[in-house]
Each structure stands twice: as C-alpha cells, then as structure tokens.
C-alpha cells in the first residue's frame, strides 16, 4: 500500500561535512548498538539477526557464491554479526540444498527470482585485497576449501577504530581504509570477489561474485545519487540487498522518537569507559538528538 504522502528527502546531520568527525563516530557507534542489541520483552532477537535470517533464507545455498560488500558501513552496523552468524551456519553445514525452513517455503518465489542471470559487467579483476593491516594479514589464512564467505566494510567516512576491532575478531571480515562512494565502485574493490569458490560447490562460476549491501543506508540518498547507486550496483554486482528498518508510518515515527530514551537507558553500560561518548549522551545529549532527528 502506497503512503498517503510522497517521500520528502531532508538532510541528515550525520551526513554533513561540517559535523565533527569525532561526534559522527559516536553517532555511528550508537546506530551499531541499535542494530546488534535487543531489549526484552520488547525484542527477543536483535534487528541484525532478524535481517540476517531473512537474507539467508532468500539466498539459500547460493549464499556461498558471494563476497558481500557493505556500503555506508558507519561503525560496522550489522555486518560483523551477519558475517559471524552466516559463516557459523556454513561451517556447521546448516546451509544446503535439502534444508528448507517455513520461511523458505513462503519465499520460494522470491528465492527463484533472485537466482537471475548475472548482470556483473566488470572487466578483469586484479589479485589481492586493498591495503589494510587486517586484510593483508588475514587474506593468507583463507583457503579455497573454506566454505566461509567474506564481508567488506566501506564508507564515505571510514570508521577505522571500530572496523579494526571488528576485523580483528574474524579473518573473513575486512575493511577499506579509504573513502568509498557508493555511486562508483573502484576497480580495486572489485578484486575482493577474486577468491575461488570451495571445490565442492556445485557452481559454474570459478570465482565468488560481488553482492552489495546497503544496511540502513539507502534512505540517505536523494533521488539522483540513489539512481546512480542503483546503476552502479547493476553494473558491478550479481546481487544486492537494501535493508531498512523504518517506513513512512505512525508506528515507525513513534519508534524513531523512542530511540533517544532507549539510548539513555542502555548507553551507560554499553559505552562504559568511553567518557566522551557518555558526555555527549547524558550531559550534552548530541548523540541521541542526532539519532532521533536523522531517524525521522
């Protein structure tokens, strides 16, 4: 059902060049917390886990064929949790042709439509990962027989401290330390799809294919860059997912307004020791104010 009012694109404070980078990092860390945490009895699973289960259900066994490139990653968002849960399922053999859940049955048509012809139009890929301390040290540990898939964090404003911590926990999570614009995929980023598929994978493709992720990101774009981003995605990706947690509805508006009180409730223990974060949450509440304003 179409909303009664058309979309009105308003600026977001966190996207502005004049917004201090150290405050942007705090806002992005708060958004990552909202992705990965949950608060019983209102939530019994994190939004990241819920979205990941739907994505895994839709892609099915073909999830092993991709390298996932996350654009507009912020402080990491749900991507580290995606990587952890998906690769755990792959290593335990829980993703196979014979495994069908009730969600799979409901989405059979969607799954079939996602197994479309490859629209990947990139030319020859270069070897190796773009330079970063974690990528260069971990790429050598990856075997062609490993069923795990790789996830890449990118952003226009790279959040290196948070990314480094997240990537240190997994050899399959990487980041690009330079600014990446979602409207134009650089050739060096395409090289991340060059890792061979496991020999046991029944696929006609010898290499993994790029899958673009936009986690709570696409609503940031006005119409012209949104069209440019989609055009770039159709040229350089074999699949993509636009993941949003909000809509133009009264319930979504109420949820956005509740984010400020929620951050006041949980930030003191989630960010204990980060006194700058706590100062700009409780004393001068810039972090919750920006999260609420940008979420409306």
Element (H, E) at 48: helix 47-59
List, for residues 129-186, the tens digit of each pLDDT value. 444 434 433 443 445 567 889 999 999 989 999 999 999 999 999 999 999 999 988 8
Sheet with 66-71, strands from edge to edge, namely: 173-175, 151-153, 66-71, 209-215, 239-243
Tokens coding 187: 């050739």
Tokens coding 189: 């980023």
Burial class (CB in 10 A: 0-12, 13-18, 19+), 15: middle
Strands (DSSP E) along 77-219, which ranges? 151-153, 173-175, 209-215
The helix/strand/coil state of 70 is strand
**How far apart (Å, rounded) are the C-alpha atoms in residues 166 and 246?**
26
Query: Residue 165 has what pLDDT?
Result: 93
Contact 181, 232 (CB under 8 A): no
Q: Which residues, in sequence order, are CB contacts of 1 under 8 Å at separation 6+?
A: none
The helix/strand/coil state of 175 is strand
**How far apart (Å, rounded) are the C-alpha atoms in residues 71 and 61?**
23
Spans in the chain with pLDDT lower than 50: 1, 98-142, 201-205
């Amino acid at each position: 059902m179409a909303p009664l009012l058309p979309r009105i694109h308003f600026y977001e404070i966190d996207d502005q060049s004049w917004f201090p980078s150290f405050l942007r990092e705090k806002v992005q860390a708060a958004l990552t917390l909202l992705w990965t945490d949950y608060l019983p009895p209102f939530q019994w699973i994190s939004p990241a886990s819920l979205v990941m289960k739907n994505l895994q259900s839709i892609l099915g066994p073909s999830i092993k064929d991709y390298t996932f490139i996350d654009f507009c990653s912020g402080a990491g968002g749900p991507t580290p949790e995606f990587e952890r849960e998906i690769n755990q399922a792959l290593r335990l053999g829980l993703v196979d042709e014979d495994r069908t859940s009730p969600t799979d049955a409901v989405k059979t048509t969607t799954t079939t439509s996602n197994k479309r012809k490859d629209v990947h139009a990139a030319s020859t890929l270069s070897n190796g990962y773009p330079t970063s301390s974690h990528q260069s040290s971990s790429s050598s540990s990856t075997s062609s027989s490993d069923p795990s898939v790789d996830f890449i964090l990118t952003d226009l404003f790279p959040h290196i401290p948070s990314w480094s911590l997240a990537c240190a926990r997994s050899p399959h999570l990487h980041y690009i330390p330079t600014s990446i614009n979602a409207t134009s995929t650089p050739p060096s980023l395409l090289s991340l799809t060059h890792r061979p598929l496991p020999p046991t994978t029944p696929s006609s493709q010898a290499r993994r294919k790029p899958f673009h992720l936009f986690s709570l990101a696409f609503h940031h774009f006005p119409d012209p860059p949104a069209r440019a981003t989609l055009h770039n995605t159709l040229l350089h990706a074999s699949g993509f997912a636009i993941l949003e947690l909000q809509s133009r509805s009264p319930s979504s508006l109420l949820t956005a307004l509740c984010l400020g009180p929620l951050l006041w409730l949980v930030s003191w223990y989630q960010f204990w020791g980060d006194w700058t974060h706590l100062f700009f949450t409780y004393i001068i509440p810039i972090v919750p104010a920006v999260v609420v304003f940008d979420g409306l």
